[in-house]
């Protein structure tokens, strides 16, 4: 792919009003001086790659992008979106950090998709997750978004939280559906190293219940698909036509730029990772050349997470060999156990439940 055809941009804004105990991302409490440094460096970094972009999607993630002031968000959005017209521009937000003024400004500056970090609609689960917003704040955030003009609204949810029951998860799903979002992301809780939750797990203060988590996954699939959502990726559900174009680009193995502290880029077979934000800004932390074999493995592992799967001829055209030429034994085993179908390669319903284990078959 030519360098000038990069169509996807991720913008990392690492500030959060509160650091959640399960979060492993590079996040910091909002700070006036650091915020100024961040905005200035984001603009500089964007200008260094601007001529190489032909943007279809932009994703402002974090952290919490709306932890920036309205004026700061306007500066960044104007810089990145001022001379382009991407089809999808997403900004993440927490319910406690979105005002109507800020939402209207975001809409006016070209942001057209809102992703709300609700995580739960059960006060006890919110407390367990260390969230500082209320259920009512989630409702108000959706209302603010709609009042500002947003029709494309995603809500993030987490299941498998210690102490969470199947009934609580069902109520969360039903309550969120009453808000009529266009997209839902439902993630099973993961215990990442260097998080408070991981330390609690190691100390035996909480435990993961994989059977209950599987029941929750199945329940979400049943309730949301019956409500008309398309289960287009393991953790993602969309009203028809509202699938996340930006996230699909990752799962399809397309190239992308990332700007901001700890942001990742994959361009021309090189994966670049930025360092963390300091008072001096940030630098490139690492650059790793990716072989065709690595990219092919990632294409299979990520593509099989989606409902569209991996089309054999497109794969062959891109990498010079078919999946069966490299992974014949693995594919035969998965097909024989009714976990995978071919032409295109797609996981069965049971295969989706084992997607992480199956991905390991194609890595390495």
pLDDT in tens, 212-267: 999 999 999 999 999 999 999 999 999 999 999 999 999 999 999 999 999 999 99
Specify whether 240 is located in the same domain as 311. no
Q: How confident is the model at residue 192 (pLDDT cuts 50, 70, 90)?
A: confident
* Residue 286 located in a structural domain: no
The stretch 29-49 carries a mean pLDDT of: 94
* Residue 272 located in a structural domain: no
Question: How much of the chain exceeds pLDDT 90, in percent?
Answer: 84
* For residue 319, pLDDT beyond 80: yes
Specify whether 233 is located in the same domain as 298. no
Contacts of 241 (CB under 8 A, 6+ apart): none
Q: How confident is the model at residue 3 (pLDDT cuts 50, 70, 90)?
A: very low
**Pairwise pLDDT comparison (211 vs 197), residue with the higher score:** 211
Specify whether 232 is located in the same domain as 353. no
Contacts of 24 (CB under 8 A, 6+ apart): 192, 193, 194, 195
* For residue 203, pLDDT beyond 70: yes
User: Rounded to an integer, what distance in angstroms lies between the CA atom of residue 80 and that of residue 63?
Assistant: 19
Q: Give the domain-ending residue among 220, 251, 282.
A: 251
**Pairwise pLDDT comparison (27 vs 284), residue with the higher score:** 284
Q: What is the pLDDT of residues 144-183, one digit of tens each?
A: 999 999 999 999 999 999 999 999 999 999 999 999 999 9
Number of domains in the chain: 2
* Residue 54 located in a structural domain: yes
- The residues that bridge with 281 in the sheet, in sequence order, are 278
Q: Residue 27's pLDDT is what?
A: 84
Domain that holds residue 58: 3-251
* Residue 258 located in a structural domain: no
Q: Residue 1's pLDDT is what?
A: 38
Q: Give the domain-ending residue among 227, 251, 275.
A: 251
Q: Please report, for the domain that includes residue 50, its CATH number.
A: 3.80.30.20
Question: How much of the chain exceeds pLDDT 70, in percent?
Answer: 98
The stretch 40-69 carries a mean pLDDT of: 95
* Residue 256 located in a structural domain: no
Q: Give the domain-ending residue among 191, 226, 251.
A: 251
Q: Residue 4's pLDDT is what?
A: 53
Q: How confident is the model at residue 282 (pLDDT cuts 50, 70, 90)?
A: very high
Specify whether 114 is located in the same domain as 29. yes
* Residue 275 located in a structural domain: no
* Residue 287 located in a structural domain: no
Q: Please report, for the domain that includes residue 297, its CATH number.
A: 1.10.10
Beta-carbon count within 10 A of 75 CB: 17
Q: What is the pLDDT of residues 127-140, one digit of tens each?
A: 999 999 999 999 99
* Residue 265 located in a structural domain: no
């Amino acid at each position: 792919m030519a360098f000038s055809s990069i169509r996807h941009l991720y913008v990392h804004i690492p500030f959060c009003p509160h650091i959640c105990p399960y979060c492993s991302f590079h996040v910091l409490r909002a700070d006036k001086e650091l915020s100024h440094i961040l905005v200035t460096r984001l603009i500089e970094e964007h200008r260094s790659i601007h001529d190489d972009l032909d943007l279809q999607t932009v994703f402002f993630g974090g952290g919490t992008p709306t932890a920036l002031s309205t004026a700061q968000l306007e500066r960044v959005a104007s810089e990145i979106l001022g001379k382009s017209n991407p089809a999808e521009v997403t900004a993440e937000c927490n319910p406690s950090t979105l005002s109507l003024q800020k939402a209207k400004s975001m809409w006016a500056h070209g942001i057209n998709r809102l992703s709300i970090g609700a995580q739960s609609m059960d006060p006890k689960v919110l407390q367990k997750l260390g969230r500082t917003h209320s259920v009512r704040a989630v409702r108000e955030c959706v209302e603010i978004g709609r009042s500002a003009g947003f029709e494309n609204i995603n809500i993030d949810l987490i299941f498998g939280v210690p102490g969470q029951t199947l009934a609580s998860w069902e109520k969360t799903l039903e309550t969120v559906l009453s808000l009529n979002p266009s997209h839902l992301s439902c993630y099973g809780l993961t215990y990442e190293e260097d998080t408070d939750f991981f330390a609690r797990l190691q100390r035996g203060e909480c435990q993961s219940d994989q059977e209950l988590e599987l029941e929750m996954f199945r329940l979400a699939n049943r309730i949301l698909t019956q409500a008309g959502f398309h289960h287009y990726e393991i953790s993602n559900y969309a009203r028809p036509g509202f699938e996340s174009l930006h996230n699909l680009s990752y799962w399809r193995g397309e190239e992308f730029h990332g700007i901001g502290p700890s942001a990742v880029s994959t361009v021309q077979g090189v994966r670049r990772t930025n360092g963390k934000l300091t008072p001096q800004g940030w630098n490139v932390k690492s650059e790793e050349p990716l072989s065709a074999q690595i990219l092919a493995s990632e294409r299979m592992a990520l593509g099989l997470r989606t409902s569209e799967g991996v089309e054999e001829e497109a794969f062959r055209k891109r990498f010079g060999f078919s999946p069966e030429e490299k992974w014949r034994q693995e594919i035969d085993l998965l097909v024989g156990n009714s976990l995978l179908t071919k032409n295109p390669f797609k996981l069965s319903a049971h295969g989706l439940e084992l997607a992480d284990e199956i991905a390991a078959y194609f890595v390495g």
